[in-house]
Amino acid sequence: MNKPFYITTPIYYVNDVPHIGHAYTTIAADVVARYYRLRGYDVFSLTGLDEHGQKVQQAAAKAGIEEQVYCDGMAPRFQNLWKRLNISNDAFIRTSDAKHKSIVQKWLQYLFDKKLIYKADYTGWYCTFDERFWTEKDVEGGLCPDCKRPVERLSESNYFFKMSAYGKKLQEYITKDSRAKPPLFIAPWIRRNEVVGFLDKSLNDLSISRPKSRLSWGIELPFDPNYVAYVWFDALVNYISALDYLAPKKTPSDNPFKKYWPATLHLVGKDILTTHAIYWSTILMALELPLPSTIFAHGWWTVNGEKMSKSRGNVVDPNAIIDEFGADAFRYFLLREVPFGHDGDFSREALIGRINSDLANGLGNLLNRTLTLIERFSHGRIPEPVASADTELEGKIKKTAVFLPHAELGIHLLPDKLEFNRALEAIWGLVQLGNQYIDKTAPWTLAKKPEDKPRLNTVLYNAAEALRFLSLTLYPFMPQAAEEMKRQLGLMLNFSKPLLASEVNWGSLLPGTEITKGRPLFPRIETTTKTQGDIRVTQDQQPSPTPQPSSTAATPQATGPAQQITIEEFQKVQLKVGKVLSAERVPKSDKLLKLQVDLGGEQRQVVAGIGKTYEPESLVGRRVVVVTNLKPAKLMGVESQGMVLAAGDKEVGGLVTILEDVQPGTKVK
């Protein structure tokens, strides 16, 4: 029987607009779920919505509809977003589900019968937005310490859970936890210390009810119909109620609760760590149920250095990001940009930078150039390799494939050590290694000599095999890209099932497999802009100027005395060192190559008429001299934003290159 793995996200408040924070947690949970499924675990992944509370009641009243009707209309915003982000959750819980309500009532009655719930009068500061009471010492300047909104003074009778009775027991449970005893109960370590510090203070009892006179939209207390359950008690129970009616049963005798509980991993934002690490843990202790193995609290996202808020108008809409850049690019950016558990800053510029440098110039370029070479030199089929000494590529692949038990990076996706950024960084080291392998072996040179055919076949096979491993390794992070790589490589993989032993062995790629080269995996995002009046438009919206010969390699002039120019005239020409990041042929032209060139602070696309002299793959990594202040021109419909210098008369004899490792963007004088 496969080992169970139960992972949850928080259940998001139905009244919220789905934003980058919701997407971040859910994408991270999805990567973990996909990763462990590939490893052969029996994964149950849960997400959902918290649908009770005062804000929902007020919003429904304002709309003039019933609360349930209101929730039914709001829920699809989250469900549709998860589909667009390719979230592979096994269940989606809603706290308005009848079965969830009955389970919450069952556990409330259990605690009441054990004398762990009592009724008492209470006076305190209440935050309507957070639906939470605060003590006098918590409130500063009449504001809620969490959301910074005004609080109001309330006096009422409520039911309380004896949370204080479990404070010391919980503190002992956490402090016995150490780095030497994996998994860590509260992760990362800094969050664990925050909770320990909180428990150093005396723990108060928890109000777990609200009077119906003030709030009617909630789960009625089974022992007093005049009250409903506090929204947090209701919401936290979802983690166990879902196992009762949403987890799959393969046979009638199956017991999902026994199989999956305790949860392997609760993934939460750091703002709700207290409710999970303290409220939920003490409730579970009172219910005499095991605590989850790990509660991992990640950081927050700011936007261009500012806190995200509706009032600032800077809330990042994941749907808009997907529309413009695609789901996989968004998934990659969020997990690559910052260490998971730390705060991160989102900007459109940073996202585009990642897409262009890592996805387009790195992974996309490796796939495109490999398949192009196989088309040209192996009739579009994976060639038969021969024994070779290319052990470095194979060895590094095996060390970095995160789904392999012996892989060095396998440890970075343990529930309490979710180092997504380190895993992706190492995987992109393989992408770079693959591109360097092609550069060093130069298959376009091997193809010129018949006696080098066996070596050529081996090089092409190894490059394709590296891509096969990359598709497996990247699948948890970017499922759409992995599926497309699989399709273009002609692979017969089923990512929905655990990987077979043969699939994780080097050399499993079947020679003779027909490839199907497709569109670029990640097209570059053009960022060059111009200002026309008050409207900012991109270069490809400009009228196309007449193609100029100077927009490619230098065109030879007629012989004879050269016209002299002054130093001032020469200084008008701006020459800089550029590093070629990628190169490909312009369709329907045997002369033009489209280059992506790093100029230090920017990247440009340059079309150069050097295709009869150079194979595109041989140019990657070279440092060339670029004229950077030419007006953009279109050649065969492709925009060129500069000119590379070359030597030659009727034909290009060679590029002007820089031998030393000069920084891209350096001026040429």
The 10s digit of each residue's pLDDT in 119-167 is: 999 877 888 777 777 777 778 888 888 778 888 887 889 999 999 999 9
Domain with CATH 1.10.730.10 in the chain: 348-504
Distance CA 223, CA 99 (A): 18
pLDDT score at 112: 98
Residue 479 tokens read as 């499922």
Average pLDDT score, the chain: 88
What stretches of 379-442 show up as alpha helix (H) in DSSP? 391-400, 420-441
Place of tokens 């979802």: 238
Architecture per CATH, domain 547-655, reads as: Beta Barrel (2.40)
Lowest mean pLDDT among 290-304, 521-535, 598-612: 521-535
Residue 483 one-letter amino acid: E
Give the DSSP letter string of 554-585.
PPPPPSSPPPP--HHHHTTS-EEEEEEEEEEE
173-193 pLDDT, tens digit per residue, is 998 855 556 688 999 999 999
pLDDT score at 1: 56
Distance CA 621, CA 624 (A): 9
Strands (E), 429-568: 529-532, 535-538
Number of helices (H), then strands (E), in the chain: 21, 29
- Helix, strand, or coil here: 469? helix
pLDDT score at 550: 36
Return the bridge partners of 648, or none: 652
**CB atoms < 10 A from the CB of 70, how many?**
22
State mean pLDDT over 293-302. Answer: 95
Residue 620 CA: distances (Å) to CA of 105, 521, 526, 601: 65, 18, 19, 19
pLDDT of residue 294 exceeding 90: yes
pLDDT of residue 255 exceeding 50: yes
Task: Count Cβ neighbours within 10 Å for each residue of 380-415 and write b for 16 or more, e otherwise.
Answer: eebbebeebebeebbebbbbbbbbbeebebbebbbb
Task: Report the relative pairing of strands 603-608 and 344-346 from DSSP bridges.
Answer: unpaired
Distance CA 639, CA 608 (A): 11
Residue 224 tokens read as 């007093």
371-419 pLDDT, tens digit per residue, is 999 999 999 999 999 876 678 788 888 777 665 655 665 667 889 889 9
pLDDT score at 532: 32
What is the DSSP-derived secondary structure letter of residue 103?
H
Residue 140 one-letter amino acid: E
Give yes or no for a contact between 121 and 155, defined as CB atoms under 8 angstroms apart.
yes
Distance CA 320, CA 308 (A): 16
Domain with CATH 2.40.50.140 in the chain: 547-655
Distance CA 401, CA 407 (A): 6
pLDDT of residue 533 exceeding 70: no
User: From the CA atom positions of the chain, what is the Rg in Å?
Assistant: 30
**Could you tell me the end-to-end alpha-carbon distance of the chain, in angstroms, rounded to an integer?**
70
Closest CA to 161 of 199, 114, 124: 114
Q: At what angle do helices 67-84 and 318-325 cross, to 10 degrees?
A: 30
- Helix, strand, or coil here: 514? strand
* CATH T-level fold of 348-504: Isoleucyl-tRNA Synthetase; Domain 1 (1.10.730)
Phi and psi torsions of 268, nearest 5°: -140, 165
Q: At what angle do helices 420-441 and 391-400 cross, to 10 degrees?
A: 170
